[in-house]
Structure 1
């Protein structure tokens, strides 16, 4: 989630402020200190995927953060989440008349747009957490709901997002605003294609490996 957190600031700087910050500092802290935590803890207790003992041992000099993980985390998941969350910000602005009117930089509309950006990042996190449960095996093979702690983390981060956007004094602190049904529907749709695409990638990898 570090990439989509940084992307709004990059867009703001590259456009020299023409695009207002799609994500505020307090919302970034919400991701870092709130929504990231519980799904990550859930991943920590995930059982080993089937067939792991059939694999050769890793070299002793291998790194925990290797090239493939960096590419997947920053180049794939991070890039996709950045695009989706940025599109979510412009989506809310389009509902309010953009590009016929300028991008909102204050007021309730701007709060709604930044909340949508935050929500998109959180729902991309949900897909990433589910995808990272296995490297090659299908998540369905280990049980979609077998890791209850991950699902608890997912529920908590959605509830936290709702609390931030519907509690008046927290709206002021975190610059959030309530979303309508269409926007909530958009958010809940985000993890589905991301999860299914990763399942497709894992299936292709398994097919290629079986031929060798």
Structure 2
């Protein structure tokens, strides 16, 4: 369940970015203005599947696991909790990536940068935002009901190995000339990393409030969504 709670929202976020571009973005020189290219989506998916999603399989059992009631056998896998989490995280990632893309693109054009270079730099910012957002969200997915402080910051070191590997790969994506040519990216200034980092971290307080909401719903016993979250925390 933890892997689903990580993969589904981030995959939906990528789809929503493309959908927003198709529905609302203008045409430039006969081509649709895209915040992320298909080959860049491939990069994001490769990094996510290998370096980020895998470490969740090594999560230790959470405190109080044996005291939790079993999941009802007739309860669907995609319950209210997972559906709500998927759309919430997907919307947050979409808003952050699309917003920074437009901001960077317009700022570059106003600074007199040629459109092709402005597009490459803006897409690089958008992809970096997605990658950093996924790194931050991975920490949230270590438990679907509790904070990382309660389950232990160092109880799964593979998560930090995965995040470190992801950041190294992203640095290569941004600054290595062969990858610049392959993925149509452009090197960023140091200050260009500030906004993507803030966007990535901004969603954590909201997701913490969401966990509290589902714990409250679970304690009230009004639906099985929290039970699904408890099951996910056990996996």
Structure 1 unaligned blocks of 5 or more? none
Question: What is the Cα deviation at residue 97 of structure 1?
Answer: 3.9
Question: What is the Cα deviation at residue 12 of structure 1?
Answer: 3.0
Verify the 8 A CA contact 2:129 2:196 in the aligned structure 1.
Answer: yes
Q: Which residue of 2 aligns with 1:70?
A: 83
Aligned counterpart for 1:83 among listed residues 95, 99, 113: 95
Q: Which residue of 2 aligns with 1:153?
A: 162
Q: Runs ≥4 in structure 1, deviation > 3 angstroms?
A: 203-212
The alignment's C-alpha RMSD in Å is 2.5
Bigger mean CA offset, 148-157 vs 199-208: 199-208
Question: What is the Cα deviation at residue 204 of structure 1?
Answer: 5.0
Cα 1:16/1:120, change in 2 over 3 Å: closer
Structure 2 unaligned blocks of 5 or more? 1-9, 222-235
DSSP-derived class of the 2:71 partner: coil
When the two structures are superposed, what TM-score results if normalisation uses the length of structure 2?
A: 0.78
When the two structures are superposed, what TM-score results if normalisation uses the length of structure 1?
A: 0.86
DSSP-derived class of the 1:6 partner: helix
Question: What is the Cα deviation at residue 206 of structure 1?
Answer: 4.4
Q: Which residue of 2 aligns with 1:10?
A: 19
Bigger mean CA offset, 186-195 vs 144-153: 186-195
DSSP-derived class of the 2:33 partner: coil
Q: Which residue of 1 aligns with 2:153?
A: 144
Matched residues in 2 for 1:36 and 1:190: separation? 22
1:131 and 2:140 aligned: yes
Q: Which residue of 1 aligns with 2:229?
A: none
Matched residues in 2 for 1:69 and 1:208: separation? 14
Question: What is the Cα deviation at residue 64 of structure 1?
Answer: 3.0
Matched residues in 2 for 1:113 and 1:138: separation? 34
Aligned counterpart for 1:170 among listed residues 164, 179, 186: 179
Bigger mean CA offset, 135-144 vs 171-180: 135-144
DSSP-derived class of the 2:53 partner: helix
